Amino acid sequence: MTKRIAFLLAGASLLGGCNLAPKYIRPVGAAPEQFPQGGAYPAPRADAPADIALVGWRDFFTDPRLVAVIETGLANNRDLRVAAANVLQARAQYRVQRADQLPAISANGSATYTNSPLGAAGAGGAGTGVGMGTGSTSLSTDIAIYSANVGFSSFELDLFGRLRNLSRAAQEQYFASEEAARTARISLIAEIGTAWATMASDQEQLRIARETLKTFEQTLDLTRAQFRIGVASELESRQVETNFEGARNDVAALTTRIAQDQNALNLLVGTTVPAEQLPGGLGGEDITRDALPSDLSSSVLLKRPDVLQAEHQLIAENANIGAARAAFFPQISLTGTIGTIGTALSGLFRSGSYTYTGSPAIGLPIFDGGRNRANLDYARASQQAAVATYERTIQTAFREVADALAQRGTIVEQIDAQTRRAEAAQVAARLSDARYRAGVDSFLTALDAQRTTYAAQQQLATTRLSRINNLIELYRALGGGLQQGDLPETGPQTRR
């Protein structure tokens, strides 16, 4: 009998190559092969890296304070911890599903004690002068049975790949959760960089607002004095006061915004950022690398973690179709045990005490009310939805990169134009003030020049922030931030 069980298991392993899942073919054509070029898009640069994914974030961000903040965020951010826990959950679920492909072997032992009455009751006969009487005699026997068994119960012979496809689906979901964790990691790095740069820009705007406030205050004191002696009109004094109060409001609003920027940064990092790691302003120095690729094929998007996540989910749905198809075919299960039995504990493993059982079973679906058909239809619909999701993910990634490249192609020119505008406005303000004091121009001309200078300086700070955010977004959109050695720890990899 044991030979028969072994034969069935061997046959199951040979037949286990049957797989009813459709052959997986990666969808193509969801996005153009090349990113847009010409016009607003930047020209290729010789010093740009060929693969942005090989540029680690420690090399991309050049400010040591920002690097330290990102390191702290990667260690403390709670969303990243949730993503890592989701990976562990998916891996455990995969291991549970994979275990169904192997027989669950267990051992058990038992002892049974029975008291069995064997007596008989009867009536007495003629005595020897003692007279007649009745009596009864009761006999009993104690029986002990000991047994020990090893075996498996209801082990399904996966002839049509149902269990293997379910295991494959669970494995791909595990891989998808890993890619989701990588997506969360890249997004966190980009969000911390953007939040840090935003705080630096607001610090720069606050500096400009305070300097402008001081200038307006001096002008206001002058016009009020001139108004008291009748040299200036009340209209001029009120106009200067309007500018002064506007700048004072900007200082208060920016002070609040900077405090909120720090709160947002603390939330991303998961702890309070030390004061020495906070920015003091944007200034003229870059906090990121500027050499990023532009003339790339859209095939680089296939390396993005969110695209890989969508593909793994698509493969999982493909495997679910195979599992649903297998439900239409017979399911064969096997129960087998081998053990020993005896009336004495010391005699369990003696010759002649061994026992075995083998119980193969087969189930063939005949009528299920359409359940199997509905499950198959559901699996196919889920696979079609996964295809659409995968294509949509690629299209979204393509647009993100294209938008970032479009801004990158003109942002340098915008910076140059805004810088020259701010410089020209400052010179115009000095000249207007000198002409006003010399009595050549009216006070309104000088006042308008001051307002123009203030607006030009603010716009220059905003444009500098846009350039930094554009570089960070392009780095994220191209899948940067996952150089080898920077990956989150999620245990051994089991990729195909």
Mind listing the pLDDT tens digit for each residue in 350-399?
Answer: 887 888 888 889 988 888 899 999 999 999 999 999 999 999 999 999 99
For residue 169, count CB atoms less than 10 angstroms from its CB and return exposed for 0-12, middle for 13-18, buried for 19 or more. Answer: buried
480: nearest Cα among 328, 300, 321: 300
Q: Is residue 146 a part of any domain in this protein?
A: no
Spatial CA neighbour of 13 closest among 93, 96, 99, 103: 103
- Residues whose CB is less than 8 angstroms from the CB of residue 341 and which lie 6 or more positions away in sequence, other chains included: 145, 146, 147, 348, 353, 355
Residue 35 has pLDDT above 90, yes or no: no
Query: How many angstroms separate the CA atoms of 393 and 311, rounded?
Result: 10
Quick check: is 258 in a domain? yes
What pLDDT shows up at residue 150? 92
The tokens describing 246, both together, are 């506007």
Mean pLDDT for 272-295 is 83
Question: pLDDT-based confidence at 222, cuts 50/70/90?
Answer: confident
**Using 50, 70 and 90 to split pLDDT, how confident is the model at 233?**
confident
| Burial environment of residue 116 by CB neighbours within 10 A (0 to 12, 13 to 18, 19 or more) | exposed
Q: Is residue 18 part of a domain?
A: yes
Domain that holds residue 453: 14-103+161-330+374-477
pTM more than 0.85: no
- 329 phi, psi to nearest 5 deg: -105, 165
d(CA 269, CA 261): 12
Asked if 182 and 479 count as a contact pair (C-beta separation under 8 A), the reply is no
Instruction: Tell me which of 220 and 62 has the higher pLDDT.
Output: 62
| pLDDT for the residue numbered 123 | 42
Query: 338 has which bridge partners?
Result: 150, 356
Q: For 3-28, what is each residue's pLDDT tens digit?
A: 555 555 555 554 555 788 999 999 98
Residue 489 scores a pLDDT above 50: no
Mean pLDDT of the chain: 85
- In this prediction, residue 145 carries a pLDDT of 86
Q: How far apart are CA 195 and CA 200, in angstroms?
A: 9
β-strand 134-137 against 354-363: which pairing, if any?
A: unpaired
pLDDT bin (cut points 50, 70, 90) of residue 269 is very high
Which of 200-209, 260-269, 274-283 comes out lowest in average pLDDT? 274-283
Question: What whole-number distance in Å separates Cα of residue 493 and Cα of residue 114?
Answer: 56
Q: What is the CATH number of the domain that holds 183?
A: 1.20.1600.10
- Give tens-digit pLDDT for 96-118: 999 988 888 899 988 888 886 65
Predicted local distance difference test score (pLDDT) of residue 472: 93
Cα–chain-centroid distance for residue 403? 23
What domain count does the chain have?
Answer: 1
SS (H, E, C) 301-315: HHHCHHHHHHHHHHH
Alpha-carbon distance of 219 to 239, in angstroms, equals: 11
pLDDT band at 47; cut points 50, 70, 90:
low
